[in-house]
Amino acid sequence: MGEGRTEPQQVHCSIVPPYLLARLASLEDPDHQAAAAAARRALVQLDPLRAARAAAPTEPPRGAGTAVVLALRRTISDAGGTQTLPGEAVRREGDPPTGDVAVDEAYSGLGATYDLFGEVYGRSSIDDAGHPLNATVHYGEAYDNAFWDGSRMVFGDGDGEVFGRFTSSITVISHELTHGFTQYTSNLRYQGQAGALNESISDVFGVLVEQRELGQSADAASWLVGEGIFTDKVQGRALRSLKAPGTAYDDDVLGKDPQPGTMADYVETTSDNGGVHINSGIPNHAFYIAATRLGGRAWEGVGRVWYDAATGGQVPVDCDFALFAQVTVDAAVQRYGDGSSEAEVVDYAWREVGVL
């Protein structure tokens, strides 16, 4: 199975699930026509962008004679409401704030994600070879999404009715950038349980970036992904919850968060690439259980276990939940010792969600 590790992904990884966009796109209520039109535009974009993702590199660029640059290098560009990438560069590494909130939020969020991987796990950017971090803001007209296209982050401003600007949540920024990390490590196939693990790894490191920035312990954190991107018209706090999958939102327009928290409620579906945004709630909840039972700073404890698992070469592109669970248990044993509380808690967490 490991032979397929460097296959290019054939998808476009976005923060808003396609089933949620499809629900918005189908709205016929005159009061929601702006949101419906924005969702339809976002859905149309999903297919053309797959070509860019398919062509993205999956190995760190470390050829003979290649100098590895270890310093943080950020460039934020402005698409100016167009769908042309990359747009005009408006803030580069070391430049002062621009006063454009989206530009400055993207700059800060990319830096916070880089710092987690670098300062905590000793990794040089997403590819461990100093990959520059590039982002484009103000993408499209009232664009309802944020995505990683294989080389850069792209953020829409939202329709203003359901979604606000996508840079307003650091977990959105770090979630999408972590898809780049996965691209350069296990390169998990974006389908079924492997795809749900791909999404889950992005959620896990997304919340860890936020928790580290806020200095939060596991028991004090919100464990929400995308908190703050909904407008005040929406009944919901975020897109997903690691603490309580299925409770992030419950809205007349959006419907109810469909994520399960255990295998007992696993969703068999052909939509959303086999439920990658839905069933990711199960490994998400396993991480939450392990982190809160261990306590303290999750990025320093069980976060190291998930990082070791993702980078250790034991996760094939078609990995399922059970194999990933065993890899994390083995990683905990390797790092903390057989019989350690960390190893026992990781094993316990996967059993609690019905995977092991």
Question: Which tens digit of pLDDT belongs to each residue from 35-77?
Answer: 888 888 888 766 554 444 444 555 554 443 344 446 899 999 9
Q: What's the pLDDT score for residue 47?
A: 57
User: Would you call 120 helix, strand, or coil by DSSP?
Assistant: helix
User: Would you call 9 helix, strand, or coil by DSSP?
Assistant: coil
Same domain? 177 vs 275: no
Same domain? 27 vs 146: yes
Q: What's the pLDDT score for residue 4?
A: 40
Question: 329, exposed or middle or buried, with CB in 10 Å at 0-12, 13-18, 19+?
Answer: buried
Q: How far apart are CA 267 and CA 153, in angstroms?
A: 29
Q: Reply yes or no on whether 277 is catalytic.
A: yes
Same domain? 203 vs 297: yes
pLDDT band at residue 217, thresholds of 50, 70 and 90?
Answer: very high
Q: How far apart are CA 123 and CA 178, in angstroms?
A: 13
Count of CB atoms situated within 10 Å of the CB of 159: 23
Q: How far apart are CA 137 and CA 156, in angstroms?
A: 6
Mean pLDDT of the chain: 90
Same domain? 178 vs 204: no
DSSP 116: I
Same domain? 259 vs 238: yes
- The residue among 152, 183, 214 that closes a domain is 183
Q: Which stretches of 20-165 are assigned E, i.e. beta strand?
A: 74-78, 88-92, 133-137, 146-148, 153-155
**Among residues of the chain, what percentage have pLDDT more than 70?**
89
- Active-site annotation holder among 176, 199, 210, 344: 176
**CA of 60: how far to CAs of 6, 66, 68, 319, in Å?**
11, 11, 10, 21
Going 257 to 49 to 12 to 243, the CA torsion angle's sign is negative
Same domain? 178 vs 207: no
Q: What's the pLDDT score for residue 68?
A: 46
Instruction: Please write the tens of the pLDDT for every residue from 327-339.
Output: 999 999 999 999 9
pLDDT band at residue 2, thresholds of 50, 70 and 90?
Answer: very low
pTM summary value? 0.90
Same domain? 175 vs 296: no
Same domain? 310 vs 327: yes
- The residue among 154, 183, 212 that closes a domain is 183
The domain containing residue 261 runs over which residues?
A: 192-352
User: Would you call 43 helix, strand, or coil by DSSP?
Assistant: helix
Q: Residue 347 pLDDT > 70, yes or no? A: yes
Tell me, what CATH number does 264's domain have?
A: 1.10.390.10
Q: Reply yes or no on whether 176 is catalytic.
A: yes
Residue among 299, 296, 308 at smallest CA distance from 336: 308
**Which has more pLDDT, 34 or 350?**
350
Domains contained in the chain, number:
2
Same domain? 178 vs 150: yes
Same domain? 113 vs 34: yes
Tell me, what CATH number does 160's domain have?
A: 3.10.170.10
Same domain? 168 vs 236: no
- Active-site annotation holder among 277, 285, 342, 344: 277
Same domain? 179 vs 225: no
Contact residues for 295 (Cβ-Cβ < 8 A; gap 6+): 217, 218, 219, 301
Q: Residue 89 pLDDT > 90, yes or no? A: yes
- The residue among 159, 183, 207 that closes a domain is 183
The answer to whether the CB of 153 falls within 8 A of the CB of 106 is yes
Q: Residue 7 pLDDT > 50, yes or no? A: no
Between 192-214 and 302-311, two packed helices, what is the crossing angle to 10 degrees? 140
Residue among 13, 15, 276, 23 at smallest CA distance from 145: 15
Per-residue pLDDT averaged across 257-282, rounded? 96
